[in-house]
Amino acid sequence: MSTNARLAPRALYEEVAERLRQRIFSRELAPGDWIDEMKIAEELGISRTPLREALKVLAAEGLVTMKVRRGAYVTEVSEKDLTDVYHLLALLEADAADAVARTATPEQLAELQTLHAELAGALGEQERFFSLNERFHLRLLELDGNRWRAQMVTDLRKVMKLNRHASLFQRGRIDQSLAEHAAIMQALGQRDGAAASAAVRAHFASGLQAASHTLP
């Protein structure tokens, strides 16, 4: 993070939260790292008050853990954490896929197909593949139109990112993930809600298996 990057006063704590969020996702701040409040406040040219408000936001998202009189550190993801997060994501996104299979317009399904094609074109580009993969999943939720479900999934995916999307970087996982997406698209195209739901659950089951292997 550049020490010259000064922040605007508008919604300062939210901007600080986003800066820290990106540092966490990029592993500048790794799981288990303590947040050096004085250093970060100096880097951003702010007082510690908006920084502490930002940390409260990140704590509510599960990205940092706060300790009384000790400060905050980046949350460390346990195997149970991963299992719980993937379980909930599978339930929520499988239900959304069921709904989208039955209600999406041809134009909306074509949009998902375009994203899927972009995924296929991103083989060998891990970071781009991850970004497109997330866009596909979030767009599926947007098409479902349940904003409460979408918010829950967005929050859960933030916790999932603490694992640094390392599951996709395992040998063969990107090819496997793409095949799983193809199964989801096939079910959506056939307007088969049950099959779409099952394909999403299988996708998350495979993702959990790969992610579990990346834990220390």
190 and 85 in one domain? yes
70 and 83 in one domain? no
107 and 69 in one domain? no
Cα 37 from Cα 45, distance rounded (Å) = 12
CATH number at residue 52: 1.10.10.10
Q: What is the pLDDT of residues 56-75, one digit of tens each?
A: 999 998 899 999 888 999 99
Question: CA-CA distances (angstroms) from residue 115 to 112, 137, 145, 183?
Answer: 5, 10, 18, 14
55 and 24 in one domain? yes
Q: What is the pLDDT of residues 9-45, one digit of tens each?
A: 458 989 999 999 999 988 899 889 999 999 999 999 9
Q: How many domains does the chain have?
A: 2
Enclosing domain of residue 25 = 12-74
DSSP single-letter state for residue 29: S
36 and 113 in one domain? no
90 and 66 in one domain? no
- Among 57, 74, 91, identify where a domain stops: 74
115 and 189 in one domain? yes
- The answer to the question of residue 63 being in a domain is yes
In 36-111, which ranges are E strands? Answer: 64-67, 71-74
Buried b (16+ CB within 10 A) or exposed e, 129-142: bbebbeebbebbbe
pLDDT reading at 78 higher than 80: yes
Q: What is the pLDDT of residues 92-101, one digit of tens each?
A: 999 999 999 9
Q: Which residues contact 9 (CB under 8 A, 6 or more apart)?
A: none
Q: What is the pLDDT of residues 112-166, one digit of tens each?
A: 999 999 999 987 787 788 889 999 999 999 999 999 999 999 989 888 888 765 5
Q: Is the pTM of this model over 0.75?
A: yes
Cα 159 from Cα 113, distance rounded (Å) = 27
Q: How confident is the model at residue 110 (pLDDT cuts 50, 70, 90)?
A: very high
